[in-house]
Structure 1
Amino acid sequence: MSILFQCEYRGGHHVGFGIPAEGDQVTLHRVTERRLREVILAAGDLLDVPAALAGAAPTVRTTLADPDLRLRPPLLPGTGDQALVSGFMGTHKSKPAEFDPPKWFFKGLGSWLRLPGEPLAVPAAPVALIEEPEVVLVYLNDAEGVPRYAGYTFGNDLCDIGLHRRDPGYNPYCKLCDTAIAPWLFLGEPPRTASGRTIIERDGVSAWEGDFDCGGDALHHRIADMTGHLFTYPALRRPGLVNYLLLGADQASFHTGFRIADGDRIRIEVKTHGVELTNRVRFDTATSGV
């Protein structure tokens, strides 16, 4: 499988390929964000993207631990205000006889995404949080506003399920928590199988563990049907917009009676794809002044 990542390094935008192991040397190709978008939009096959980008681009060798290197969410534009994070709900229920569009939610702007190692901020007094390991599809709209599939990665749609269960009408509030996303963009079709294990640590020790499966075969709708219906809405088809679509999660810690607390460390290991997201939960302490 072909994997691309973006980073800022010593004042320039670079791309690299694969998921480097800790301490491994990695080759970075100095490629502008505009060039990256052009290549993806022009690609007849996403697997051709790495060769097209590498070409004659200047390179530098370093490691991910280099303090001058900063990874970025896949295809996140500029300040992130030209990107939307949203997702589907109830996608792991039993399969219906015919297509019935799943419920959809708006999570936030692209600037709200958090990389592994960054804290996930939630409201000061959530009712009951839940981690949600999910496949994240990435779409880049072309100059005419046509959404072009660019690949997939993985995320944690952390949210307040307790608030949602108290009243489903509160779901927009429930989703106002930071979202974790992996920096690795998989240049291929959405995965049919994507499974792994979640570990929630408290005070340095494991407090809860459980397995998950978030691949296409675990969903009760065809992904093409879900995305095809969603993109009938013009608001998501604005030229240059990047859409991050969360495909939904199976049962998690909340369903076993566990409750995530302030300071807990959530580690999501997508074992089928060699991806790990680790983030600490931070309850907000600021006051609104209202």
Structure 2
Amino acid sequence: MKRLVQIQNGSTRHVAFVEEPHLHILAGVSSIYELAQQAIESETSLFALIRERATGGLLDYDAIYSGSSPWQLLLPIDHPENPARCLVSGTGLTHLGSAKNRQSMHTGGDEQLTDSMKMFRWGVEGGKPADGEIGIPPEWFYKGNGSILRGHGDPLDVPPYADDGGEEAEIAGVYLIDANGQPHRIGMAIGNEFSDHKFEKKNYLNLAGSKIRTCSLGPEMVIDPDFGSIAGKVTLKRGGSELWSKEILTGEDEMCHSLRNIEQHHFKFETHRRPGDLHVHYYGACALSFGDGIELADKDLMEISFNGFGRALRNPLHVAKEQAPLIHIQSLK
């Protein structure tokens, strides 16, 4: 598997592929978006383009990853013109371990079958359709546009109007829509979908609003990964000491929806196939620290890793201290 990063030093940007412990700069390309566009237009593979352009220099990945280099890790994907041309979304209740967390969040026990559990069971029954068939739709939600995405090392925000913020360790798919409206999967990356679970717990109808928060991606883009069964780990640290950790699993073997079915129900909407747009789609989490009673605090560190997906994604938590502002709307008279 090829793993790519985007890096920047002042006004200079590069794409590089990971060749541990180095980054190998790709010549003649400054973004993964540009590289993907070139692959589409030339009708060649990303693998072929990476081999062709691997003529640049080597950089020390350790220094860049730790933040001690003038080179800075960027998000593994961004839109070159406008972050609003990147739609960030996600799919819930996709993992065989996810429904238990959701069920316990909205009931006092297992005796009452919630709408979440009903939707999960529908996924178990019809989320992996046979070839040529369309399965049951998964739960889908909107996160925001590309302006809410954060990279490795960037803080994730609990805004003044939020009740809390908690990690959701996932894999996210990254897609580009070509000039003819055809979606192309560029690759996948580690993601922290990050949501307001306290707000959601008050009432399931708060789910949509609880998702409109910053979220993170990276540090690496993995091209054509094996998405069968992927082992990972989530670790939360407070003051340098481990607060909570859990071994997790993701991938199609651990899910009740196939990747093909998730993609079908995201891209069936014509508005999701607008030429030139990017899409970042989180595939779902199997475990949450919130489900184990953990409440994160300011400056806590969230670390997520998945086997085969490169170096871990780390983000500190930033809790806003100010009061939520009253928004004044002006009428155009």
Same fold (TM over 0.5): yes
Which of residues 94, 97, 111 in structure 1 aligns to 2:125? 97
Query: Partner of 2:125: helix, strand, or coil?
Result: coil
Residue pair 2:219, 2:313 contacting (<8 A) in 1 also: no
Contact 2:231 2:247 in 1 (8 A): yes
CA pair 120-230 structure 1, distance change in 2 beyond 3 A: same
For 1:211 and 1:142, the matched residues in 2 are separated by: 37
Alignment check: 8 A CA contact 2:190 2:304 kept: no
In 1, Cα distance between equivalents of 2:191 and 2:59: 26
Q: How many Å apart are 1:223 and its aligned residue?
A: 0.7
How far is the alpha carbon of 1:26 from its aligned partner?
A: 4.3
> Corresponding residue for 1:113?
149
1:85 aligns with 2:88: yes
**How large is the RMSD of aligned CA atoms in angstroms?**
2.3
| Map of 1:76 onto structure 2 | 78
Is 1:2 the equivalent of 2:2?
yes
Per-residue deviation, 1:91: 0.6
Distance in 1, Cα, partners of 2:10 & 2:282: 32
2:100 is matched with none
Residue 222 of structure 1 aligns with which residue? 258
Contact 1:81 1:109 (C-alpha < 8 Å) held by counterparts: yes
Residues 28 and 144 (structure 1), Cα distance of their counterparts in 2 relative to 1, 3 Å cut: closer
Write out per-residue CA displacement over residues 165-204 of structure 1, whole angstroms, 9 at most, x where no aligned residue.
Answer: 2112211221122111113111114521222211111122
Kindly provide the CA deviation profile for residues 129-163 of structure 1, in whole angstroms up to 9, marking residues without a partner as x.
Answer: 33111111010111122111111111001101221
Aligned match of 2:200 in 131, 149, 164? Answer: 164
SS in 2 for 1:130: coil
SS in 2 for 1:275: coil
Match of 1:62 in 2: 59
Give secondary structure in 2 for the equivalent of 1:251.
Answer: coil
1:250 shift after superposition: 0.5
The equivalent of 1:16 in structure 2 is: 16
Q: In structure 2, what residue type is equivalent to 1:265?
A: L
Q: Which amino acid aligns with 2:59?
A: T
- Which is higher, the Rg of structure 1 or of structure 2? 2
Q: Secondary structure at the match of 1:159?
A: coil
Contact 1:195 1:213 in 2 (8 A): yes
After TM superposition, where is structure 1 displaced by more than 6 Å over at least 4 residues in a row?
Answer: none
The separation in 2 between residues aligned to 1:166 and 1:69, in whole angstroms, is 43
Greater strand fraction, Structure 1 or Structure 2: 1
Deviates more, 1:251-260 or 1:43-52: 43-52
Q: Output the TM-score relative to the length of structure 2.
A: 0.78
Q: Distance in 2 between matches of 1:6 and 1:169?
A: 37
User: Does 2:28 correspond to 1:36?
Assistant: no
Structure number with higher helix proportion = 2
* SS at structure 2 position matched to 1:230: helix
> Partner of 1:266 in structure 2?
302
Shift of 1:19: 5.7
Unpaired segments of 5 or more residues in structure 1? none
1:264-288 CA-to-partner distances (Å, cap 9, x unmatched) read 1111122443330111111123444
Q: 1:189 to 1:156 in 2, by over 3 A?
A: same
TM (norm. structure 1) is 0.89
Kindly, what percent of the aligned residue pairs are identical? Answer: 27
Deviations 1:35-59 (A, max 9, x none): 41333324554432311333xx6x3
2:109 corresponding residue in structure 1: none
Unaligned runs of 5+ in 2: 97-120, 127-134, 327-333
Q: Is the contact made by 1:40 and 1:150 (CA closer than 8 Å) also made in structure 2? A: no
Q: How far does the alpha carbon of each residue in 1:237-283 deviate from its partner, in whole angstroms, 9 at most, with x for none?
A: 11110001100000221111222122211111224433301111111
Q: Is this contact kept in 1: 2:235–2:304, CA < 8 A?
A: yes
